[in-house]
Amino acid sequence: MKLNHQTQLLAVAIVTLIATVFVLDYYGYLRHSNESDAIYMAEFSLIANVPGQDQYVSHIPAKKRARCIDHYLVLESTEKAGATGLLVDKKQRPVRCEFNGEL
Protein backbone atom coordinates (compact mmCIF):
# COMPACT_ATOMS: atom_id res chain seq x y z
CA MET A 1 0.00 0.00 0.00
CA LYS A 2 2.80 2.40 0.79
CA LEU A 3 4.33 1.96 -2.68
CA ASN A 4 0.97 2.74 -4.29
CA HIS A 5 0.63 5.92 -2.21
CA GLN A 6 4.11 7.10 -3.25
CA THR A 7 3.34 6.39 -6.90
CA GLN A 8 0.10 8.36 -6.70
CA LEU A 9 1.87 11.25 -4.99
CA LEU A 10 4.55 11.34 -7.68
CA ALA A 11 1.94 11.18 -10.46
CA VAL A 12 -0.04 14.05 -8.90
CA ALA A 13 3.14 16.14 -8.59
CA ILE A 14 4.05 15.59 -12.25
CA VAL A 15 0.52 16.34 -13.47
CA THR A 16 0.41 19.47 -11.30
CA LEU A 17 3.72 20.68 -12.73
CA ILE A 18 2.57 20.11 -16.32
CA ALA A 19 -0.77 21.82 -15.64
CA THR A 20 0.98 24.80 -14.03
CA VAL A 21 3.28 25.27 -17.01
CA PHE A 22 0.33 24.98 -19.41
CA VAL A 23 -1.73 27.59 -17.50
CA LEU A 24 1.22 30.00 -17.24
CA ASP A 25 1.82 29.65 -20.97
CA TYR A 26 -1.88 30.06 -21.80
CA TYR A 27 -2.13 33.35 -19.89
CA GLY A 28 1.11 34.68 -21.37
CA TYR A 29 3.36 34.55 -18.33
CA LEU A 30 5.96 32.44 -20.15
CA ARG A 31 7.93 34.27 -22.80
CA HIS A 32 9.05 32.22 -25.80
CA SER A 33 12.03 33.40 -27.80
CA ASN A 34 11.47 34.37 -31.40
CA GLU A 35 13.68 35.03 -34.40
CA SER A 36 14.48 38.62 -33.43
CA ASP A 37 15.90 37.47 -30.08
CA ALA A 38 18.64 35.50 -31.81
CA ILE A 39 19.28 37.85 -34.68
CA TYR A 40 22.71 37.91 -36.28
CA MET A 41 23.08 41.60 -36.98
CA ALA A 42 26.10 41.78 -39.26
CA GLU A 43 29.73 40.91 -39.76
CA PHE A 44 32.30 43.66 -39.61
CA SER A 45 35.89 44.01 -40.73
CA LEU A 46 38.61 46.38 -39.59
CA ILE A 47 40.26 48.76 -42.03
CA ALA A 48 43.75 49.45 -40.71
CA ASN A 49 44.96 53.03 -40.92
CA VAL A 50 48.27 52.68 -42.78
CA PRO A 51 50.04 55.95 -43.68
CA GLY A 52 50.53 56.38 -47.42
CA GLN A 53 48.04 53.67 -48.39
CA ASP A 54 44.80 54.60 -50.14
CA GLN A 55 41.67 53.27 -48.50
CA TYR A 56 38.22 53.28 -49.99
CA VAL A 57 34.87 52.90 -48.28
CA SER A 58 31.33 53.29 -49.50
CA HIS A 59 29.76 56.73 -49.29
CA ILE A 60 26.53 55.12 -48.06
CA PRO A 61 26.59 54.66 -44.27
CA ALA A 62 25.76 51.32 -42.64
CA LYS A 63 22.29 50.81 -41.22
CA LYS A 64 23.78 50.35 -37.77
CA ARG A 65 24.68 52.88 -35.10
CA ALA A 66 27.33 52.32 -32.42
CA ARG A 67 27.13 53.63 -28.87
CA CYS A 68 29.56 53.42 -25.99
CA ILE A 69 27.52 52.16 -23.03
CA ASP A 70 29.29 51.31 -19.75
CA HIS A 71 32.62 51.16 -21.63
CA TYR A 72 31.35 48.56 -24.13
CA LEU A 73 30.49 49.08 -27.79
CA VAL A 74 26.81 48.41 -28.43
CA LEU A 75 25.34 48.30 -31.95
CA GLU A 76 21.76 49.14 -32.72
CA SER A 77 19.87 48.82 -35.96
CA THR A 78 18.42 51.95 -37.53
CA GLU A 79 15.84 49.81 -39.37
CA LYS A 80 14.40 47.69 -36.55
CA ALA A 81 13.45 49.32 -33.29
CA GLY A 82 14.87 47.48 -30.30
CA ALA A 83 17.39 45.43 -32.28
CA THR A 84 20.53 46.08 -30.26
CA GLY A 85 23.52 43.95 -29.42
CA LEU A 86 26.93 43.97 -27.83
CA LEU A 87 29.81 43.91 -30.32
CA VAL A 88 32.02 40.87 -29.68
CA ASP A 89 34.98 39.25 -31.42
CA LYS A 90 35.22 35.66 -32.68
CA LYS A 91 35.82 34.38 -29.14
CA GLN A 92 32.70 36.15 -27.80
CA ARG A 93 34.76 38.78 -25.93
CA PRO A 94 33.11 42.22 -25.79
CA VAL A 95 34.75 45.18 -27.51
CA ARG A 96 35.55 47.92 -25.00
CA CYS A 97 35.36 51.63 -25.79
CA GLU A 98 36.18 54.94 -24.16
CA PHE A 99 34.20 58.12 -24.56
CA ASN A 100 35.85 61.38 -23.59
CA GLY A 101 33.00 63.66 -24.65
CA GLU A 102 34.70 64.91 -27.81
CA LEU A 103 33.53 64.18 -31.33
Over the stretch 48-103, which tens digit does the pLDDT of each residue have?
888 888 888 888 888 888 889 899 998 888 887 777 888 888 788 888 998 766 65
Which structural domain, as residue segments, surrounds residue 10?
1-32
Number of domains in the chain: 2
* Three-class SS state of 10: helix
pTM reported for the whole predicted model: 0.49
Of 34, 47, 31, 39, nearest to 75 (Cα)?
Answer: 39
**70 and 83 fall within a common domain:** yes
**73 and 23 fall within a common domain:** no
Cβ neighbours of 85 (radius 10 Å)? 14
**42 and 28 fall within a common domain:** no
**14 and 45 fall within a common domain:** no
Alpha-carbon distance 85 to 97, whole Å?
15
**50 and 86 fall within a common domain:** yes
**57 and 92 fall within a common domain:** yes
CA angle in degrees (0–180, nearest 5) for 80-85-90: 130
* Three-class SS state of 49: coil
* Three-class SS state of 33: coil
Question: At a CB cut-off of 8 Å and minimum separation 6, what does 94 contact?
Answer: 72, 73, 86, 87, 88
Average pLDDT on 11-24 reads 96
**58 and 14 fall within a common domain:** no
Alpha-carbon distance 59 to 43, whole Å?
18
